Amino acid sequence: MQRVAVIVFPGSNCDAETIAAARQAGSDAYRVWHRDADLKRPDVVILPGGFSYGDYLRAGAIARFSPVMTAVTEHARAGGPVLGICNGFQILCEAGLLPGGLMRNARLRFLSRLVRVHVEATDTPFTCGYEPGAVLAVPIAHGEGRYVVDARTAAELEAGGRVVWRYTGENPNGSTNAIAGVSSPGRNVVGIMPHPERRNAPVLGGEDGARVFLSMEARYATQHAVDVRAVGDRHLRV
Amino acid sequence: MPRATLLDPQGEAVERALHALGFGEVGRVRMGKHLMLDVQAGSREEALARAREMCDRLLANPVIEDYDLAVEGGGGRGAT
């Protein structure tokens, strides 16, 4: 069982579902208030959806300066897994942990509905449990979800296999190359606009999002099993 | 202000509304934010330099926005 820190900013509103989804996958998930400097030794950090600081100035612009972000940045720089969902994605972009930025939807309307995404990268801690090329039905709920990057960065993302999820069928918000989620060069930091925590059980209409949380728990369990075998080998040699 | 190369759907909506009202002379419309700051500074240059630092760190996101700065006033308790 891994420790999952879910950061709560003033205006976060998906922390409860995110914690429930992580627990459903077997993780020990807990909240960390944005003013805390201590993440309490997490294996994974999740920045949940919501409207931190009311989206004032720009979505995520003020939250990125919250005291907790120093520890989140250190965790990310050390290779620790970090997932930003929706507003969390916006915060990671504002903090410079992911490239690009998120702007008003091309057709200006707030969108709250199911979309289809294509799983393009399965080498991240949050998507390693999906089949490459899988198509998922997951909800979006955003007014500022149009992911934009300059042409050079877009080419780098594409060439480096860093587009994690891509809208398929239609591009709901007009994002560059229909990108719905990207990863850092090291794959450990991932941002996605759709909400997998809202689609992780049949009672919610589907469970296409569940593997985001199962992926990170399975990855941790595998790593832990390797550690145990290594210890066992040493013991046998003694 | 959204960077010139990026789609600005708010600006486009305003542009269409102006054309619908008969203001056909209007070309492209871009829509951004206007922030007014009261700043205590020893000189206009100092106020400008500090404001530029504020823009670079918080007020603008260079990935998606461009900005312009102007200092108005001066006097009173310092340049404003």
3-class SS string, A102-159: EECCCCCCCEEEEEEEEECCCCCCCCCCCCCCCEEEEEEEECCCEEECCHHHHHHHHH
Confidence of residue B73 (pLDDT cuts 50, 70, 90): confident
pLDDT digits (tens, 9 = 90+) for A149-191: 999 999 999 999 999 999 999 999 999 999 999 999 999 999 9
Interface test with A, best of B16, B57, B63 (most A CBs within 10 A): B63
Confidence of residue B75 (pLDDT cuts 50, 70, 90): low
The yes-or-no answer on residue A195 being catalytic is yes
**Which homologous superfamily does the CATH classification assign to the domain defined by A3-237?**
Class I glutamine amidotransferase (GATase) domain (3.40.50.880)
Q: Are B48 and B24 in a shared domain?
A: no
Q: Are B46 and B62 in a shared domain?
A: yes
The yes-or-no answer on residue A86 being catalytic is yes
Confidence of residue A226 (pLDDT cuts 50, 70, 90): low
Q: Are B18 and B41 in a shared domain?
A: no
pLDDT digits (tens, 9 = 90+) for B1-52: 999 999 999 999 999 999 999 999 999 999 999 999 999 999 999 999 999 9
What percentage of chain A carries pLDDT values higher than 90? 91
pLDDT value, residue A222: 85
The SS3 call for residue B2 is: strand
Q: Assign residue A17 a region: left if phi > 0, alpha if psi is -120 to 50, beta otherwise?
A: alpha
Q: Are B28 and B49 in a shared domain?
A: no
Q: Which among B7, B58, B63 is the nearest to A100, CB-wise? A: B63
Q: Are B64 and B75 in a shared domain?
A: yes
For the cut 60, the answer to whether the pLDDT of residue A134 exceeds it is yes
pLDDT value, residue A224: 79
For the cut 90, the answer to whether the pLDDT of residue A92 exceeds it is yes
pLDDT value, residue B80: 39
Q: Are B69 and B79 in a shared domain?
A: yes
* Contact call for A146 and B2, based on CB within 8 A: no
Confidence of residue B79 (pLDDT cuts 50, 70, 90): very low
Contact between residue A113 and residue A126 where contact means Cβ atoms under 8 Å apart: no
Confidence of residue B78 (pLDDT cuts 50, 70, 90): very low
Instruction: Give the C-alpha separation, B10 to B17, whole Å.
Output: 11
Q: Are B28 and B60 in a shared domain?
A: no
* Contact call for B9 and A99, based on CB within 8 A: no
ipTM surpasses cut 0.85: no
Looking at residues A187-200, what average pLDDT do you find? 98
Total domains in chain B come to 2
* Contact call for A106 and B6, based on CB within 8 A: no
**Which string of b and e fits B22-45 if b means at least 16 CB within 10 Å?**
eeeeeeebbeeeeeeeebebeeee
Closest chain B CA to residue A100: B63
Domain range enclosing B10: 1-32
Which of the residues A14, A86, A144, A217 is marked catalytic?
A: A86
pLDDT value, residue A235: 46
Looking at residues A114-122, what average pLDDT do you find? 97
Q: Are B26 and B63 in a shared domain?
A: no
Q: Are B6 and B16 in a shared domain?
A: yes
Q: Rounded mean pLDDT of chain A?
A: 94
pLDDT value, residue A237: 38
pLDDT value, residue A148: 97
Confidence of residue A220 (pLDDT cuts 50, 70, 90): confident
Q: Are B25 and B41 in a shared domain?
A: no
Q: Are B28 and B38 in a shared domain?
A: no
pLDDT digits (tens, 9 = 90+) for A65-89: 999 999 999 999 999 999 999 999 9
* Contact call for B7 and A94, based on CB within 8 A: no
pLDDT value, residue A219: 87
